[in-house]
Structure 1
Amino acid sequence: MSLWTETRGSGPDLVLLHGWGLSSNIWGDFADRLAERYRVTLIDLPGLGRSAPAGDMSLDAVVASLLATAPESAHWLGWSLGGQLALAVAEQAPERVKSLSLIAANPCFVARDDCSCAMAPEVFGAFVESLADNETKTLQRFAALQTRGSVRARDALKHLKAVMANAEPQALAPALRLLESDLRPALSGLSCPAQLILGSEDQLVPQALAEAAKVLNNTLNVQLLEHSAHLPFISHADAVLASIQRQMDGIDAAR
């Protein structure tokens, strides 16, 4: 599958992966700020934004397409679904990943018997059914859910709705199924420096994940931002940017 990509700035390579139902436009000014110090590669996931829908939307196929598109060696930043995909990339091609920054991402988004820090299966199932019944209404509810409790809820919601308007209908359901992947083994086996940035008010990724993730990988740097919902890079852009720069600059300086 061929993915749309755009490169900005110069410096160490940094790949940005967006979340479900959106495109790389969601990064907005945050990507521009990163491009002041790094060579940023923006990628639209299959069927979302400017990337064409793919016949095979399995996790392995999507990861293969990301690796075919991304720089040979880079830092990876993934938000929400993009965080899960970045984890899968690091698991399958660890030599390609210098570091991981995961924002509002859950390695196991849908709860299982041994994973309670996640969305209940029945809630996820209802969301899948709702998407099939009324796509527009479902996306609007999803946008409101992502911003609830944020100190910048109004700005974030406006930005989300503008980006969601470009979603490709036939790609939404297959992309949603990617969230059912269990990437906990990938998180446990990481061989690169990694950080997880969560929001205390996130309605999709519970703050209890902060402790659970450390159990999976005690080298993981976990931050919980107060008064932030599912989009910390909008509500707490300065803090998130500083964390990313601190991790990347420390690694690149040591090389």
Structure 2
Amino acid sequence: MGTNTDVEDGVAMVFAERFYQQFLGSGLDAQSAVDAANALFMAEFGEKSPHVIWKKVSSLPRVSEMSKDIDLAISNVFYRAAMRTSMSSEGSIHDVDEAMRDISEALGTGNVRSRRSGKIIESASFPEDWLWEPRVASFVSKAQKAISVVRKSLDVLTQGSPGHDLVYGNASNFDTSASVPEWMRRVNDVDRGRNRIIRGLNELMDGSNVTPLGLIDMSFSNKAIADEERAITAH
């Protein structure tokens, strides 16, 4: 609500008082409250108030449904294999990186893409405005940073297996610049980074009816890494 001309403070104060008496006290909708306040103002002062109201349909859900709808939409972005499977069981480093890129895009635009076709899935996408909700915006900011860290860890694996796109655990260790234990730690870095995102997501969903996302198992246990280190020492 505002005015389309300059208005004295006294006039603004009187009109605001009349408006809120109707809007809050009488339970009228905004436009009806403006009309009623204008009528009262006219009767009292003999002229119409310069106040008008602008209305725009919001893309946000109804207040009663807002939290549930937004939480479900955000959580659905992460319900994919790339956020469930240990890195040692993944078949392609590139596919995981593309999935992380798609998640990043969804958190920036609300557009959820199909992994196969790359086309936007309208039924899973949501208005970008939803990402501006303060608690969601805070999560998105942290998640985007964590995604960048994961993609850097993936790039390290890519550089270590040129031309293969395979992960240690389902293939040989192609990186001759790193020992097997070090390579195992690098693979674990991807799992650890994705778990950081999942913890943030579950914290956002805490108190909602959305099912928490389970943490990803580490590709290699501390014992397995220690065993490899002992094997190297023994040789």
TM-score of the two chains, using structure 2 as the length reference: 0.23
Structure richer in strand, relative to its length: 1
TM-score of the two chains, using structure 1 as the length reference: 0.22
Larger radius of gyration: 2
